Structure 1
Amino acid sequence: MGIPGRLDVGPPVAIVDIGSNSVRLVAYEGLTRAPSPLFNEKVLCGLGDNVATTGQLDQGAIGKALRALKRFRVICAHMQVGAVHVLATAAARDASNGPAFLAAAEAAIGEPVQLLSGPQEAELSAYGVISSFHGPDGVVGDLGGGSLELIDVKGTNLASGVTLPVGGLALRDVAKGSLREAKRIVREALRDAAPLDALRGRTFYAVGGTWRALARLHMGQKGYPLHVLHGYSIMPGETIDFAKIVERVGAEALASVELVSEARRPLLPYGALVLEEIVRRGRPKTVVLSAAGVREGLLFAKLDPEAQKEDPLLHAAREVNCLRSRSPAHAEELIAWTDQLASSLHLDETAEERRLRHAACLLSDIGWRSHPDYRGDQSFASIAQAAFVGIDHPGRAFVALAVFLRHVGFAGDDGFRLRELMTARLLDRARILAGAMRLGYLLSAGMPGTLPHTPLVASGHKLQLILPPDLADLASDRLRNRLKQLARFVARDPQLAAGKRQ
């Protein structure tokens, strides 16, 4: 039996990532297709600082890292974590005292430490992107403190990855603090980086804490309406312009600098110039931030092939549906009910629009415990700010808006800022879906067993809701009004066929 409020998905699983800049523990609810973090803590140790010039890990940094690992060991025991996976990357890989540190690290954390090679690190970063984007197509770049990994990904297929010694700490070290020299070093390193040869016109997936911090700054400068880093997209020209600003004036001069920790700020200009040179060299169509990387990639690699094929958005939406809806079965019926409606309307629905509609149906009743006046707002906030993956920002806005309108109706959405992220087509589809859900919930009271027997279909110029004889008494003026409202959205004449046999 599971813990109340948690899914019964087995014991928690944890990953400890000993990186060149930070040592981090992330404990997840379980090994699933869309694992939810239970606990997340990082300590900025700077293990990779000066390794490029001295060849050794600093003793102060080692002490800080070992203290963090001892703390993480206690936390994992307290959380009753079933499996702890410990990874180490560039700093421990490159330093002459790396083996001694790894032995001490194993004693501190009480688990074996897997020292990743550069290609292994690139592969796990790519798996992280595969696990968290729907049909990725481009090049994954994972910028750490000691190195940059680049690897081509298309769907679930990976090419060979490369590792370059231009992580933020290493770059600052070798360039002796000179951004001009750092730019020269990066250009030289990227010149023969094979993955960038095939990047033109595709997506560059930016992984790593420094690039996430840059994206957070960019969001703040723009006043972007959605503070979710995963899936945040920046056009190439704007990426270059913003990177040049950071390089020229430094992070401290930017209005939103408080969004980034002080310890992270000195590396931002180096991360900015690496990103700028990648965009200049590879010419992607867009730069997209990925909050998932090596840790999520490792979990994905441990799933069986069938689980890997699952849609992470729909998997997560079903989990939330089970935890928070009045009747999870009703949401599944709502999917089938709107499937039939969409087919009869000949909406020319894309595969992406279909999966977003399904996600909205699964999440349509998660706010039912809130006060009636706030169900729309609570549902919107829960969806817009959820740790969902496999969904871009326009798609997130679509799902949030559809569920919001399902609760509040169509008079109060003018101030919905996430509309800025949506196309006119997506906004129209959200209103149609919200209209259908408002009708469906009134018809069924949010309980299973009614929708399969009361089809809603377009036939010719009519939008027809059929109530069989045993359910004919469900007809009401309010039901007719909602049918009429939906019919306007789809340019049909409403018809409530009560007492009609299917």
Structure 2
Amino acid sequence: MTSLERLFGERNRFQELEPLGIIDIGSNSIRLVVYEGAVRAPTPLFNEKVLCGLGRSLASTGHLGEESVERALAALSRFHSIARLLGVKNVRAFATAAVRDADNGPDFILRAEKACGTQVEVLSGEKEARLVAQGILMGFIDADGLAGDLGGGSLELIELSKHKLQEAVTLPVGGLRLIDATGAKIEKAQQLIDDAMGKVTWLSDGKDRPFYAVGGSWRALAHLHMQQMNYPLHVTHGYAIPTAEAILFCEMVRKSKKLTAMPGIEKLARARREVLPYGALVLERLLKTVQPREVIFSVFGIREGLLFSLLPEHERRKDPLLSFCAEYASLRSRSVEHAWELCSWTDRIFEPPGPPETAEERRLRHAACLISDIGWRSHPDYRGEQSLNLLAHSAMAGIDHPGRVFLALAIYYRHAGASQANPEDLSERLKAIVPKRLLKRARIVGAAIRTAHMLSIGVAGVIDETPLSYEGDKLVLTIPRAHAGMDGERLRRRFEVLAQLLERKAEVRLTR
């Protein structure tokens, strides 16, 4: 048994996948992430970051500062030991803008490779931008717009059109570089940013499309905005802000004389707080130039882009949300086969003359079916609430925040019943994230799954033989003789709740 098997207790899982470590040597931070393997829905097994500030003095001296270099080498040495302890044989390492542009960058790379025990690739600006775009493709469905990754040394911008990568550019306007170039006088930074962006002729192509924001400074802005809005979900990935609102917030952060008084700022490292106003200024000027429809924050970036680039084509084509849910089901539910049967069984509810369903709603319903049994090990009295909290804050990709809350609600109702009151920790603010149409659908989907589990007890091969159908004003559940013993009062009560939500009369039909 390897170290990872002992640590995470998934022997069969780690026999199937080869863990992959990625070391990201950025201009501000250095990070090691160990993923369970090269799969469509990657799960980090280990994640550690050290803020070294390699690019802190680059603009004024052209060199990586010696103190920052020593901190970086110490972090890389620790990362090497961690990878060895975890038994990770495949480690990829890359460096970005600060190392790429520094006079002593080649010397640092020699020392860094010795410290971390693997070759370090110095990425070109264009390759960095393309890996960022691939990270967006890893984390979102049909991403279409502009993506930007703000680091300490540079800003990478790239246009995405569905699965095609278009124009790309790297600009020297990272937070640390701006601090150094302006002598920490933020009023001088705007001209540098505008001059750099003014040379990019295709930025207007992002107008009225989403802008995907990547990078630690911008994620920190998202967290602060959540605090200011008293937002009920503290999940950065997929968090969206309308452009006009994002510009106003960036202006407020940039102009703030008492940044330390902002709610949530105490959770940010001091090194992150230092660059935050500059990150806000870059985003503000970018949004005013591009005029996108909204800003969508992503926790998927260059590291996930590298992982995406290693996937075979058939893995890349998979849906990230359904891949995550299927994987989650294989780890935590009693029967993955039954979960897939639920997808087909509930299809009948939304076929004519049932409620209409968009392609995205169908996708969310299938996701709910796949994860419907992940709470079975919990105490019966708390399965609904625990499943809700787990799913609302899980590491799902390929889903926006309303969809995330829909899934959490659907599985809550699967356990607690669609007629039950909402759990105490589900506030009105959380429900406000979800359109009324999705709220009603969550009750329907939850009631359908609740009925199916009472009929099959989570065992595969039962609901496939007990179809649903519409006949006039009736919703009919047909149970063949082989499964007639599964009929009973509790099943009928649950089925009646489902029928009522569909505005139909319930009929259970036993056949010979």
TM bucket, shorter chain:
over 0.9
Q: Within 5 Å, which residues of 2 pair with 1:332-411? A: 332-409=340-417, 410-411=419-420
Equivalent residues of 2:20, 2:91 under 8 A apart: yes
Q: Deviation of residue 348 (structure 1)?
A: 2.3
Equivalent residues of 2:415, 2:450 under 8 A apart: yes
- Structure 2 residue matching 1:466: 3-state secondary structure: strand
2:83 matched to which residue of 1?
76
Distance in structure 1 (CA, Å) of the matches to 2:79 and 2:485: 61
1:261 matched to which residue of 2?
269
2:232 matched to which residue of 1?
225
Q: Deviation of residue 458 (structure 1)?
A: 2.0
Distance in structure 2 (CA, Å) of the matches to 1:63 and 1:231: 36
1:214 and 2:221 equivalent? yes
Q: Deviation of residue 428 (structure 1)?
A: 1.1
Equivalent residues of 1:344, 1:459 under 8 A apart: no
Which of these residues, 299, 307, 311, is aligned with residue 299 of structure 1?
307
2:212 matched to which residue of 1?
205
Which of these residues, 481, 486, 492, is aligned with residue 504 of structure 2?
492
Q: Which runs of 5+ in 1 are unaligned?
A: none
Aligned length: 500
Q: Deviation of residue 414 (structure 1)?
A: 6.5
Cα displacement string for residues 424-482 of structure 1 (whole angstroms, at most 9, x for unaligned residues) = 11111111101101111111111111100101122321100001122223222222221
Distance in structure 1 (CA, Å) of the matches to 2:482 and 2:315: 41
Q: Which runs of 5+ in 2 are unaligned?
A: none
Distance in structure 1 (CA, Å) of the matches to 2:507 and 2:201: 61
Equivalent residues of 2:243, 2:287 under 8 A apart: yes
Cα displacement string for residues 387-430 of structure 1 (whole angstroms, at most 9, x for unaligned residues) = 11111111100100000111011322165233121001111111
Distance in structure 1 (CA, Å) of the matches to 2:312 and 2:114: 31
Which of these residues, 118, 129, 132, is aligned with residue 125 of structure 1?
132
Distance in structure 2 (CA, Å) of the matches to 1:27 and 1:328: 26
Q: Within 5 Å, which residues of 2 pair with 1:57-206? A: 57-206=64-213
Equivalent residues of 2:21, 2:33 under 8 A apart: yes
1:424 and 2:436 equivalent? yes
Cα displacement string for residues 52-109 of structure 1 (whole angstroms, at most 9, x for unaligned residues) = 1110000000000001000000000111112100010000011101110111111111
- Structure 2 residue matching 1:150: 3-state secondary structure: strand
Distance in structure 2 (CA, Å) of the matches to 1:215 and 1:259: 13
Equivalent residues of 1:216, 1:260 under 8 A apart: no
1:190 aligned partner, one-letter code: M
Q: Scaled by the length of structure 1, what TM-score is found?
A: 0.97
- Structure 2 residue matching 1:194: 3-state secondary structure: coil
Equivalent residues of 2:349, 2:355 under 8 A apart: no
1:48 matched to which residue of 2?
55
1:469 and 2:481 equivalent? yes
Distance in structure 2 (CA, Å) of the matches to 1:151 and 1:191: 15
1:458 aligned partner, one-letter code: Y
Distance in structure 2 (CA, Å) of the matches to 1:39 and 1:292: 15
1:446 and 2:458 equivalent? yes
Equivalent residues of 1:161, 1:195 under 8 A apart: no
2:422 matched to which residue of 1?
413
Equivalent residues of 1:379, 1:400 under 8 A apart: yes
2:297 matched to which residue of 1?
289
Distance in structure 2 (CA, Å) of the matches to 1:194 and 1:496: 65
Distance in structure 2 (CA, Å) of the matches to 1:460 and 1:260: 59
- Structure 1 residue matching 2:374: 3-state secondary structure: coil
Q: Deviation of residue 343 (structure 1)?
A: 1.6
Q: Deviation of residue 196 (structure 1)?
A: 1.7
- Structure 1 residue matching 2:477: 3-state secondary structure: strand
Cα displacement string for residues 144-191 of structure 1 (whole angstroms, at most 9, x for unaligned residues) = 000000000021100121010000001111122122111121112112
Equivalent residues of 2:204, 2:291 under 8 A apart: no
Distance in structure 2 (CA, Å) of the matches to 1:85 and 1:332: 35
Q: Deviation of residue 341 (structure 1)?
A: 2.1
Distance in structure 2 (CA, Å) of the matches to 1:177 and 1:37: 36
Which of these residues, 430, 434, 446, is aligned with residue 446 of structure 2?
434
1:439 aligned partner, one-letter code: T
Distance in structure 2 (CA, Å) of the matches to 1:90 and 1:159: 21
2:348 aligned partner, one-letter code: Q
Distance in structure 2 (CA, Å) of the matches to 1:345 and 1:146: 57
Equivalent residues of 1:432, 1:486 under 8 A apart: yes
Q: Scaled by the length of structure 2, what TM-score is found?
A: 0.95
Distance in structure 1 (CA, Å) of the matches to 2:178 and 2:118: 31
Q: Deviation of residue 201 (structure 1)?
A: 0.7
- Structure 2 residue matching 1:229: 3-state secondary structure: coil
1:412 aligned partner, one-letter code: A
1:461 aligned partner, one-letter code: D
1:27 matched to which residue of 2?
34
Equivalent residues of 1:144, 1:208 under 8 A apart: yes
2:373 aligned partner, one-letter code: D
Distance in structure 1 (CA, Å) of the matches to 2:138 and 2:168: 17
Equivalent residues of 1:217, 1:259 under 8 A apart: no
Equivalent residues of 1:455, 1:465 under 8 A apart: yes
2:316 matched to which residue of 1?
308
1:432 aligned partner, one-letter code: I
